[in-house]
Structure 1
Amino acid sequence: MDHVLYSDGNAKRISWLIQTNDSSVDQSREHADIYRDKISNMQSKYVALHIGLFWGIGIFAIRNGDHVKIKLDDKTMFEQMTDGLKIKDEFIRNRVRFIGQLIAQRKLKIEFELISHSDNLVNKLFDAKEIKTKNG
């Protein structure tokens, strides 16, 4: 089966959206206390990707051997995931390792695509949740 995974995060929240054929599932969550306001936006983007992929497998939306196109809206993150761009941040290196383990264990066929921030569908969800949270 083919899926498209979008994700994003900041110091307070992470969000992801998985599209499969004509359906989609999404989640937006506050960071756990150990991460909230303690990690950078880039680190949070990796947490969102890792947890989104793990969650997608956990709810059986993504199954062994499936094809997953991961759409990233950050050029550095894209280059780190596709071109082996050196990662100095140990936290991010660990997330990349965990993501790689999930991919290998589940024999997923992964394709990365660099997109603009405005084309990241999860940002609409992410921004809506932020507005709702701020306005009650």
Structure 2
Amino acid sequence: MEYIVQYREDQNIVAATAKGEWDPRVDNDMVREVMEIVDASGGAKVLLDIRELRFDISIVRALERALEVREYRQGFKTVSRKTAIVYSSVNEKVDESVIFFETVSRNRGLPFLTFTDMGKAMAWLLEDK
């Protein structure tokens, strides 16, 4: 798994792009880097582009991952940020896992929303609400 994290100052967005085969250890490194920039920026929104990331996780693993991410994020002073996750809908199993991850995350107080369309994700991140 490879990733790039950038801060788009003009939009106050931390943009992370991941591709390759999903690896939870590398994913943790990416989350840490994103959260460090969120802390440093004083409140950036997050765009996570995983359209080129290959993952095949079960519903149970999606639940575990959502809980892990929430626990991990609590180690940072800035926990709640609006986060758009853009993924590729390759099959029903992936859709179910991603939607379940979103639901569990939102139920645990994490402001995540998933999209298959980058334009809609950006519009949601940039809306004034």
Q: TM-score scaled to structure 2, two decimals?
A: 0.40
Q: Which has the higher contact order (CA 8 A, sep 6+)?
A: 1
